[in-house]
Amino acid sequence: MNALIKAATIIDSKSSYHGSTVDIRIKYGKIRLIGQNLSLEKGEQLIEKEHLFVSQGWFDSSVSIGQPGYEERETIENGLRVAAKSGFTGIAVNPNTYPILDTSADITFVSKMSEGYAASIFPIGALTRKSESVDLAELYDMQQSGAVAFGDYQRAITNPNLLKIALQYTQGFNGLVLSFPQENKIAGPGKMNEGIVSTRIGLKGIPAIAESLQIARDLHILAYTGGRLHIPTISTAASVALIKEAKNKGLDISCSVAIHNLFYTDSALEEFNTNFKVLPPLRTQEDVDALIAGIKDGTIDMVTSDHNPLDIERKHVEFDNAAFGTIAQEATFGALLTLVSEKKAIQLLTNGRERFTQENSSIEEGTEANLTLFTTKGSTVFSEENILSKSKNACFLGAKLKGSVYGIIANQKLVLN
């Protein structure tokens, strides 16, 4: 793939061209030349857009794709199309398929099915067999087959000794362990955040302490064992404080926050719209303010879409019976840009790649072209026409977003909107 990108402002703090407006020549998938006033050569595709910005390819650390087993929700092919159109060149895919991704053969299947696309899949293997929190899965074998981390999606590790053993065992091959932050006995049958809104509308609540108590437990175990731990999708002010303290102590801990937990509060559930039924639940404005402060000061390492396509039978039911989850990948950049600067937004959308894949690159001559093209100008209202996923359970419908994605260049392929 040969292309010439004209007048693009590079946002990449690792690059010597950071903040510069330049032309970028790409030959056979590699950045060959970065400079001014480059002329279009034969066989090159010209990419020229208004207010064009270029960054390293964005990475989404929590994406659910139905295949295998739930193809009616989403397929690998369309899931990668959604990722590319949303600006992501890499997605870490959760193991919540059927069967659960808990063997090397499962990881190999997903990896093979995702070959040949612009965006890449980085599979997360289940930490425990069938994600039942009883026995560890084939962690080393899955890592050898391409798994970048190990976790049971939206399922807590109920046995603390299992987490201890996992953190000790994975140190032998530098594995990354994920622990979903929820103490199930305290969360109980809750459907939303426990607070004033849940009391007023009569829904069972999930207390904020259910999250912070589990995180406190996990951090104590990490301090004892060592290892690499990632807490996905935190949602409370107490969680931010705990992780900030752990980082100050030098623990190898990272965490993410889902974009909808930054953008909405539990008041969004007043109308019983099941698209806002997510896990962890939408919290209070105090929690949202603490999360935003956490992404600005670096306590929270990355923002994820926590993209979870669900078919209509799982969402168009009574609120109590509806499944947790929303699709959000198509809206992630636009929503994030309403909350932070473009520099911070790109940092939050690219940090996950190094943590999960241990790749550490920058936009320089001679490197592989793994780029996201976007603009920070303009605003849109997210509508059904913006949904690219097979499933339509989008909580961002009607939200005012900022900027837009032009496309990606990765794996020697170009995808433009």
Prior bond to 68 cis, omega within 30? Answer: yes
> One-letter amino acid identity for 166?
A
Give the gyration radius of the chain's Cα atoms. 21
DSSP 137-163: --HHHHHHTT--EE--TT-----HHHH
218, 306, 311, 320: the active-site residue: 306
Query: In angstroms, rounded to a whole number, what is the distance separating the alpha carbons of residues 58 and 74?
Result: 21
Query: In angstroms, rounded to a whole number, what is the distance separating the alpha carbons of residues 287 and 116?
Result: 41
The yes-or-no answer on residue 297 being catalytic is no
| Residue 219 host element (H or E) | helix 209-225
* Of the candidates 222, 240, 134, 210, the residue with the CA atom closest to the CA atom of residue 178: 222
Count of CA atoms in the C-beta half-sphere (13 A) of 193: 24
* Of the candidates 82, 54, 51, 90, the residue with the CA atom closest to the CA atom of residue 379: 51
Compute the C-alpha angle 54/300/144, nearest 5°: 75
Size of the chain in residues = 417
Distance of CA 353 to the CA centre of its chain: 10
Return the sign of the alpha-carbon dihedral for residues 62, 325, 211, 137.
Answer: negative
Torsion of CA 117, 34, 349, 337, to 10 degrees: -120
Return the sign of the alpha-carbon dihedral for residues 38, 411, 354, 156.
Answer: positive
| Structure-token pair, residue 370 | 């793994």
Return the sign of the alpha-carbon dihedral for residues 335, 339, 341, 343.
Answer: negative
The pair phi, psi for residue 271, each rounded to 5°, is -95, 5
Catalytic residues: 306
